[in-house]
Amino acid sequence: MSFNEARRRPANDRPIARDGEYVLYWVQAYRRLSHNHALDYAIKCARELKRPLVVYEGLRLDYPWASERIHRFALEGMRANRAEAARIGLQYWPFVAAPEDPGRGLVRKIAARACMVVTDFYPCFVVPEQTEALARKTDRQVIAIDGNSVAPLATLGATVSAAAHLRPRIHKQFRDAWAHRAKAEPEVASVPVRSVEAPFATWDGDVDRTLAALPIDRSVASVRGVTGGAPAANERLAAFLDEGLARYADHRSNPSSPEDGPSSRLSPYLHFGHISVEAIVAGVLARAYGTPDIALGSPGKREGFYGTDPNVNGFLDQAITWRDVGFQWHVERRLDTASLARALPAWVQATLAKHADDPRKHVYTAEEWEAAATHDRLWNAAQTELARTGAMHNYMRMLWGKKVLEWSRTPEEAYRTLVHLNNKYALDGRDPSSYTGILWCFGLFDRPWAPERPVLGSIRYMSSDNTAKKFKLDGYLAYVRDLK
């Protein structure tokens, strides 16, 4: 499994400083120590340069929507990495920012002693700006590695507006990319062994004590029973393979409690990088067919490419194709910083403009949305699930987004509301897939639908009444009522 050079994305044109003390891997998005292309590349560089490897992982205090919920999940991941690094013999420097020590300039200080810096390519949230800032200010080479999916994003061609257009490209790239997948266990033994002292007091791994001392938003509380980190991610994957995969194709759209439905619930772990999509794909293929190296079907079709099992094809199409569509769109348009006019296709902008002055049957304030205080019990249930659990059933998420668009004064106001609610409460928020999931409710990656309706125009319509006719919702509503 040699390294695929298409994953390299140089962030500057600085040379390698061959007199540096170590190779630095700056962890930003792939917060794990296995199945990690960036770590594999950093190990390769350290071996070739005959220098030790240092892995630095930091956690800011001032990121947007910072809260106890998000911070705990990230810290639990760092605690797991600390233990794993000690087990396999990696030099791991964790840093957690605090008011008295925000860590300003720390990455640059660490980089100044390095031969080069390897980091994660991730096209969203604070990561692009952090990488750009270091690349601009340091005299060391900075290389970002794309480990976001099975096929490197650079191999997928021009951005597309529909999953059906990207699917054939992914399928054609899959075989070669799969042969070059990241190593399940990093080759730490191949790196020169030399202890390097960190220029700061590394974090001790005490999650509870750390959280108690930080001025974090406590109104978004930690989710009981949900733990961050690679070990928890692997347990969740195992549970999905045991309990959910065999029911995925037939039941994934049915609103239900997490325990009763077949959802993988892996998206928070993917977002925080606690698990890779490659590890998920390998687990699914091995469970279904006895090996992760299967005979692939004909490229292009949704069914039959990943073997004959419809559950496998349905799940992997979501985990790979739809996720890659979002990442690819985000690389080009930076949806987390773009306006709706830049984010949406022309037909959506035209139909929204045509219906901009349509009267709204209901209009809610930001406070009413956040408090789940609308007239619609299904919408309220979906928002309550999100606020209390950090997650939402996927079908309910689509309905949730559609109704905010329908019941807001303007599309721009609706988009701001959805981004805020999702990024504040969802453990998998602040992610390319979050933004494209929200924008799908506005028509992104979809087509015009007839008949035209007030407010939405030609955008696909969803209603709570139709949802109630389509599904038995008593179990889902009872689950939400019991949430504490």
| pLDDT, tens only, 226-264 | 999 999 999 999 999 999 999 999 999 999 999 999 999
The CATH 1.25.40.80 portion of the chain extends over 149-188+229-333
CA distance 99 to 109: 19
The CATH 3.40.50.620 portion of the chain extends over 1-147
- At 363 the pLDDT is 98
- At 484 the pLDDT is 74
Question: pLDDT per residue over 300-321, tens digit each?
Answer: 988 999 999 999 999 999 999 9
Which ranges of the chain have pLDDT less than 70? 1
Residue 163 parent element (H or E):
helix 163-179
What CATH number is given for 149-188+229-333 in this structure? 1.25.40.80
The CATH 1.10.579.10 portion of the chain extends over 335-481
Alpha helix ranges (H) inside 57-162? 68-88, 106-111, 127-137
- At 320 the pLDDT is 98
Phi-psi region of 159 (alpha: psi -120 to 50; beta: other; left: phi over 0): beta
- At 1 the pLDDT is 59
Please state which of the four CATH numbers 1.10.579.10, 1.20.1530.20, 1.10.10.10, 1.20.120.10 is assigned to the domain occupying 335-481: 1.10.579.10
Compute and round to an integer the Cα radius of gyration of the chain: 23
- At 395 the pLDDT is 96
Residues 6+ apart with CB under 8 A from 341: 349
Question: pLDDT per residue over 318-345, tens digit each?
Answer: 999 999 999 999 998 898 998 899 999 9
User: For the stretch 343-356, what's the b/e string if a residue is b when 16 or more beta carbons lie within 10 angstroms of its beta carbon?
Assistant: bbbebbbebbeebe
107, 57 contact by CB (below 8 A): no
- At 25 the pLDDT is 98
29, 269 contact by CB (below 8 A): no
CATH fold for domain 1-147: Rossmann fold (3.40.50)
Pairing mode, strands 8-10 and 91-96 = unpaired
CA distance 173 to 305: 12
Phi-psi region of 219 (alpha: psi -120 to 50; beta: other; left: phi over 0): alpha
Helix axes 230-243, 68-88, angle to 10 degrees: 100
List the beta strands (DSSP E) in 263-346.
Answer: none
